């Protein structure tokens, strides 16, 4: 069932520029769609039309089957989680107050807000005492976690994320992405995620929509985007090392052959992606690696199996991996 649906949506600004041109797509419930493209492609406009921060000029946007034109704008926004870069936190409020903003706007009583805030602090793995701190006392990564917690506070069905990890250094960004995928796997939430970073888009999305000049050029699973780019623009945008990127969308469990004899050699886990396996193969003479789960041998992954994926075998399953990395 589709949670978010765009039908022929166009956004034209007063000065005549068309930011989004006749866009139609849907996001299924529980799915993450990443919108990716060069700056000015309309990805942010597309996202901001969902919570009516930018009103659409033409067409219909529906959430859970109801057109947003039929909703009260304020209520609509309160029902949708909104994550922006860490700068969106309010410096004059404590971390707990920041997280509790939307519940407070919705009129929850204080005890309920307090419980919810504690729950969320636990979810983002911050100590409960940090609720009393001010955002300026936290690190960039912690602030961004608070931003995510704030968006989740009122249990939204839909989450909009506007380049949430864009201001972080690469290492923090990577670990926050992993953490978020873990959090997300425990929630039943539909996500629209805007980024200009194709690697992030491929990692975070169940579906990736590559945008250009206000239109979606291709909307597919990360695997299909990599193995079968619709146009030259997409393949250029994905980059030249797409075969290598492709590896990061496939897990060891997808390709390995089962085996149980213990073997004394460097091993990999079934949840690891093939990019990591390929790196091990590149640095050693071995042709096969044992796959070990919880200390028990469960299979073997070979050089040949990795090569098949690099050469573009499309029969393998979709994302899956990234969530477990």
Partner 1 sequence: MYSSVILAGLGSYTQSVIEALEYIANHWGVFLTLLQTHMTIVLVGVGAAIVVAVPLGIVVTRHDKLGWMVMNMGAIAQTLPPLAVIAISFSFLGLGRNPVILALFFYALLPILKNTVAGLRSVDDSKVEAGRGMGMTQFERLTRIELPLAMPVIFAGIRTSTVMSVGVAYLGAFIGAGGFGNWVVLGQQQLDTHITMAGAIPGAALVIVLDQLFKRLQGVVTPATSTTKENTEISAA
Residue ranges in contact with partner 1 by CB under 8 A? 51, 53, 74-79, 82, 84-85, 87-93, 101-102, 105, 134, 136-137, 150, 160
163 vs 272, which CB is nearer to partner 1? 163
Burial degree of 315 (CB within 10 A; 0-12, 13-18, 19+): exposed
50 vs 226, which CB is nearer to partner 1? 50
Contacts of 224 (CB under 8 A, 6+ apart): 314
Q: What is the DSSP string of 265-323?
A: S--B-TTSBHHHHHHHHHTSS-SEEEEEETTEEEEEEEHHHHHHHHTT-TTS--S-HHH
47 vs 322, which CB is nearer to partner 1? 47
- Helical axes 110-123 vs 140-152, angle rounded to 10°: 130
Q: Which residues pair with 83 in a beta bridge?
A: 161
Q: How far is the CB of 240 from partner 1 (least distance, A)?
A: 35
Q: How far is the CB of 78 from partner 1 (least distance, A)?
A: 3
69 vs 137, which CB is nearer to partner 1? 137
Element (H, E) at 147: helix 140-152
Q: How far is the CB of 61 from partner 1 (least distance, A)?
A: 16
Q: How far is the CB of 179 from partner 1 (least distance, A)?
A: 21
Q: Pick from 206, 235, 208: which is nearest to 321 by CA?
A: 206
Q: How far is the CB of 136 from partner 1 (least distance, A)?
A: 6
33 vs 102, which CB is nearer to partner 1? 102
Q: How far is the CB of 90 from partner 1 (least distance, A)?
A: 6
Residue found by looking up tokens 């219909």 in the block:
60
103 vs 222, which CB is nearer to partner 1? 103
The pairing of beta strand 58-63 with beta strand 66-67: antiparallel
Q: Are 69 and 43 in contact (CB under 8 A)?
A: no
């Amino acid at each position: 069932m589709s949670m978010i649906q765009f039908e022929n949506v166009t956004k034209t600004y007063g000065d005549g520029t068309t930011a989004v041109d006749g866009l139609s797509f849907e996001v299924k419930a529980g799915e993450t769609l990443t919108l990716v493209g060069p700056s000015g492609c309309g990805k942010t406009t597309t996202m901001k039309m969902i919570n009516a921060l930018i009103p659409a000029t033409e067409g219909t946007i529906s959430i859970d089957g109801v057109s947003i034109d039929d909703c009260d704008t304020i209520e609509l926004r309160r029902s949708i989680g909104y994550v922006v870069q860490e700068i969106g936190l309010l410096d004059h409020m404590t971390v707990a107050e920041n997280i509790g903003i939307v519940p407070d706007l919705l009129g929850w009583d204080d005890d309920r807000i307090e419980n919810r805030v504690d729950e969320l602090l636990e979810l983002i793995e911050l100590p409960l005492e940090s609720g009393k701190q001010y955002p300026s006392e936290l690190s960039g990564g912690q602030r961004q976690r608070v931003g995510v917690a704030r968006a989740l506070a009122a249990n939204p069905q839909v989450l909009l994320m506007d380049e949430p990890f864009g201001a972080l250094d690469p290492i923090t960004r990577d670990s926050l992405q992993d953490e978020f995928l873990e959090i997300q796997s425990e929630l039943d939430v539909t996500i629209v995620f805007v980024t200009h970073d194709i690697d992030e888009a491929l990692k975070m999305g169940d579906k990736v929509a590559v945008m250009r000049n206000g239109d979606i050029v291709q909307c597919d699973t990360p695997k299909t985007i990599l193995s079968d780019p619709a146009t030259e623009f997409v393949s250029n945008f994905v980059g030249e090392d797409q075969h290598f990127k492709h590896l990061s969308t496939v897990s060891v469990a997808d390709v390995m052959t089962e085996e149980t004899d213990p073997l004394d050699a460097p091993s990999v886990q079934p949840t690891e992606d093939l990019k990591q396996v390929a790196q091990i193969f590149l640095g050693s003479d071995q042709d096969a690696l044992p796959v070990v789960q919880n200390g028990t041998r469960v299979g073997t992954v070979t050089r040949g199996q990795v090569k098949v994926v690099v050469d573009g075998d499309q029969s393998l399953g979709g994302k899956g991996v990234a969530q477990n990395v």
